[in-house]
């Protein structure tokens, strides 16, 4: 199902919407206009700025930080959401507040019990949609964040 995931962006208000799956031609409107289909950039470890660094914590939680060093959280440049496709479904976390309203944690926390992430999408308000595919979930969990935040 995740290969059919689609995200759309409104050029007027900046809203981003996602679809669960694609079964045919799709268009979504916002602010009275058709939304733009986002084509994800591919984030890999060498690119760094938009690559998800993952750390497993207690109670089946994963902390995901975008970028090394951690992605900026400025008024017009921040990660607004992280979306994970898993073996059994999906999860999304949005930035709870605008980064300039109050200090925000530099990571998104996801809970998993007997499930594993396959694809991580993140949306940067300046550089667009990013996608990282993890072929081997075991290797993904061994990745550690290597910086200060």
Task: Name the residue ranges covered by the structural domains of the chain.
Answer: 1-38, 40-142
User: Could you tell me which of 52, 26, 34 has the C-alpha nearest to residue 124?
Assistant: 52
pTM for this entry: 0.78
Q: Which CATH class is domain 40-142?
A: mainly beta
CATH (one of 3.90.1570, 2.20.28, 2.40.128, 1.10.3470) for 1-38: 2.20.28
Q: Where are the beta strands (DSSP E) in the chain?
A: 6-9, 16-19, 29-30, 33-34, 36-38, 41-42, 52-57, 61-66, 79-86, 90-94, 108-111, 117-124, 128-133
Give the model confidence (pLDDT) of 76-87 as tens digits. Answer: 888 888 888 888
Name the band, by pLDDT with cuts 50, 70 and 90, for residue 19.
confident
> Tokens 């594993």 belong to which residue?
116
Average pLDDT, rounded, for the chain: 76
Give the model confidence (pLDDT) of 68-112 as tens digits. Answer: 787 888 888 888 888 888 888 787 777 755 556 655 566 777 777
């Amino acid at each position: 199902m995740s290969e059919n995931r689609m995200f759309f962006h409104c050029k007027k208000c900046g809203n981003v919407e996602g679809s669960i799956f694609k079964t045919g031609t799709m268009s979504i409107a916002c602010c009275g206009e058709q939304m733009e289909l986002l084509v994800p950039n591919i984030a890999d470890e060498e690119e760094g700025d938009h690559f998800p660094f993952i750390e497993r914590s207690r109670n089946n939680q994963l902390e995901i930080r975008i970028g090394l060093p951690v992605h900026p959280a400025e008024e017009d440049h921040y990660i607004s959401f992280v979306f994970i496709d898993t073996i059994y479904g999906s999860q999304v976390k949005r930035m709870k507040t605008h980064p300039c309203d109050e200090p925000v944690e530099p990571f998104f926390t996801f809970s998993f019990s007997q499930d594993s992430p396959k694809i991580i999408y993140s949306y940067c308000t300046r550089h667009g949609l990013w996608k990282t595919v993890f072929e081997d979930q075991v290797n993904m969990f061994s990745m550690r964040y290597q910086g200060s935040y």
